[in-house]
């Protein structure tokens, strides 16, 4: 019997290499508090992304919380998308902000700038939190213009988008803060972990204090903070995965291309009108209706394949009732979308099997 194939599997770098880094931590007698491995990983990521202000943190959700805190979003209406992992808006609610949903674009599945503008115009939003969903950038130019025109902070949940680009440019040229997740299920990971990328140095310096209880370098605590530090042991995993990233990206791109080749136009893909590079992190496909998606899911499950219905807006019941119509509307789209298994060390034969099962259901 073959083993079950889930929507994804963490990448496990060679264990000897990991042990070497852990040995280094023992030798340095440093386990956390911005140690040498955290500093090394910070520098490597800054180089790879071409950014100046990058802060490693303990997870992607803490990155969001710090960003929301930094932009003082408590008690404010914050415009965000219904189609995302729950953390984008649960973290807003946790920080005392009021998530205010703007509908998504039906093709890109990302937040629709025109809908954002309607809310801004009616003074129903004091900030924007956009998500580069499944690694595909939002309409970054349009959102940037809106943030300037209405003078509101613009934060990106780039949990899926570490390596994505937009119109040939870095996504980090846009917005005030990007929050990234390095959770084990993401393409690049540190087991648990995350990063924040800042446009302004002042924001970076403040965040650096906030992740360390609010303590400044001179020991003065002017502002309450929290513990959001990444440990050396987590950074060690990141350093191992970092070296393998180009190969991991290439392998997943080939798998995605193979899915496209086999499924062709029998399903609908995430699409947009501007040139961009999507980090190969998920393989979402949309079926013609929810019942078809469920049939496909069931047929795959019986053969040991477990796609996932990322994400289910209708589950976000912590949001206020006022949001119901947008949630329902977005759920119509989300409920017919499945993320197919995609991971490193996945055989093309597995993609073959999965696509055969899907095509058989669709031909019925
Ligand atoms: C994974 C994820 C997060 C949360 O990151 P963690 O590191 O798991 O806390 C936030 N937003 C999105 C869109 C995600 O996919």
Q: Quickly list DSSP for 273-298.
A: SS-EE--S---EEE-SSHHHHHHHHH
Q: Is the CB of 159 under 6 A from ligand 1?
A: yes
CA of 99 from ligand 1 middle (Å) equals 17
Domains and CATH numbers, the chain: 15-239 (3.40.640.10), 244-362 (3.90.1150.10)
| Per-residue pLDDT, 1 | 61
Question: What pLDDT does 321 receive?
Answer: 80
Long-range contacts of 275-278 (CB under 8 A, 24+ apart): 275/167, 275/168, 276/136, 276/137, 276/164, 276/165, 276/166, 276/167, 277/163, 277/164, 277/165, 278/134, 278/135, 278/136, 278/137, 278/161, 278/164
pLDDT tens digit sequence for 32-42: 999 999 999 99
Q: What is the pTM of this model?
A: 0.97
**pLDDT tens track, the chain, 364 positions:** 678 999 999 999 999 999 999 999 999 999 999 999 999 999 999 999 999 999 999 999 999 999 999 999 999 999 999 999 999 999 999 999 999 999 999 999 999 999 999 999 999 999 999 999 999 999 999 999 999 999 999 999 999 999 999 999 999 999 999 999 999 999 999 999 999 999 999 999 999 999 999 999 999 999 999 999 999 999 999 999 999 999 999 999 999 999 999 999 999 999 999 999 999 999 999 999 999 999 999 999 999 999 999 999 999 999 988 789 999 999 999 999 999 999 999 999 999 999 999 999 999 8
Q: How far is the CA of 85 from the centre of ligand 1 (A)?
A: 7
Q: Are 116 and 79 within 8 A, CB to CB?
A: yes
Of 256, 222, 197, residue with least CA distance to 66: 197
Rounded Cα gap, residues 182 and 191, in angstroms: 7
C-beta 181 within 6 A of ligand 1: yes
- How high is the pLDDT of residue 322? 79
89 in contact with ligand 1, CB cutoff 6 A: no
3-state helix, strand and coil shares in percent for the chain, rounded to the nearest 5: 45, 15, 40
Q: From the CA of 88, how far away is ligand 1's center (Å)? A: 7
Question: Among candidates 129, 64, 67, which has minimal Cα distance to 91?
Answer: 64
**DSSP states of 138-164 as a string?**
--HHHHHHHHHHTT--EEEE-TT-TT-
d(CA 100, CA 116): 10
State the DSSP code for 79.
E
Instruction: Name which residue sits closest to atom 10 of ligand 1, judged by CA.
Output: 87
Instruction: Report whether residue 194 contacts ligand 1, using a CB cutoff of 6 Å.
Output: yes
What is the distance, to the nearest Å, from the Cα of residue 88 to the centroid of all Cα atoms in its chain? 9
CB-ligand 1 contact for 157 (6 Å cutoff): yes
Measured between alpha carbons, how far is 234 from 35 in angstroms, rounded to an integer? Answer: 11
Residue nearest to atom 2 of ligand 1 (CA): 159
Residue 353: predicted pLDDT: 98
Ligand 1 centre to CA of 135 (Å) is 12
8 close to ligand 1 (CB < 6 Angstrom): no
Residue the block writes with tokens 């197919």: 340
Evaluate: CB of 341 within 6 angstroms of ligand 1.
Answer: no
- Closest approach atom of ligand 1 to CA 182: 7
């Amino acid at each position: 019997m073959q083993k079950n194939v889930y929507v994804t599997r963490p990448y496990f770098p060679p264990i000897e290499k990991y042990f070497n880094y852990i040995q280094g931590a023992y030798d340095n007698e440093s386990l956390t508090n911005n140690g040498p491995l955290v500093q090394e990983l910070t520098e490597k990521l800054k180089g790879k992304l071409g950014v100046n202000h990058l802060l490693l943190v303990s997870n992607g959700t803490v990155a969001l919380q710090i960003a929301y805190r930094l932009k003082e979003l408590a008690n404010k209406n914050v415009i965000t998308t219904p189609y995302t992992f729950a953390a984008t808006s649960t973290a807003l609610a946790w920080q005392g902000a009021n998530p205010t949903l703007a509908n998504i674009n039906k093709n890109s599945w990302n937040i629709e700038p025109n809908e954002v503008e309607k809310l801004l115009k009616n003074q129903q939003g004091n900030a924007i939190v956009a998500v580069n969903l499944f690694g595909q950038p939002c309409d970054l130019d349009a959102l940037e213009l809106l943030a300037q025109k209405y003078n509101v902070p613009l934060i990106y949940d780039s949990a899926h988008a570490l390596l994505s680009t937009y119109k040939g440019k870095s996504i980090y040229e846009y917005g005030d803060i990007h929050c990234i997740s390095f959770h084990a299920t993401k393409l690049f990971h540190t087991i648990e972990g995350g990063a924040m990328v800042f446009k302004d140095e002042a924001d970076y310096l403040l965040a650096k204090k906030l992740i360390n209880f609010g303590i400044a370098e001179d020991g003065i605590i002017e502002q309450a903070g929290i513990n959001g530090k990444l440990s050396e042991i987590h950074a060690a995993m990141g350093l191992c995965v970092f070296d393998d990233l180009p190969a991991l990206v290439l392998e997943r791109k080939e798998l995605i291309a193979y899915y496209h080749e086999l499924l062709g136009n029998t399903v609908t893909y995430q699409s947009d009108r501007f040139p961009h590079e999507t980090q190969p992190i998920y393989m979402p496909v949309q079926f013609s209706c929810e019942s078809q998606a469920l049939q496909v899911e069931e047929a795959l499950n019986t053969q040991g394949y477990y796609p996932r219905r990322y994400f289910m807006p209708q589950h976000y019941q912590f949001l206020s009732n006022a949001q119901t119509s947008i949630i329902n509307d977005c759920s119509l789209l989300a409920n017919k979308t499945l993320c197919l298994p995609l991971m490193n060390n996945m055989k093309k034969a597995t993609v073959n099997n999965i696509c055969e099962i899907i095509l058989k259901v669709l031909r019925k």
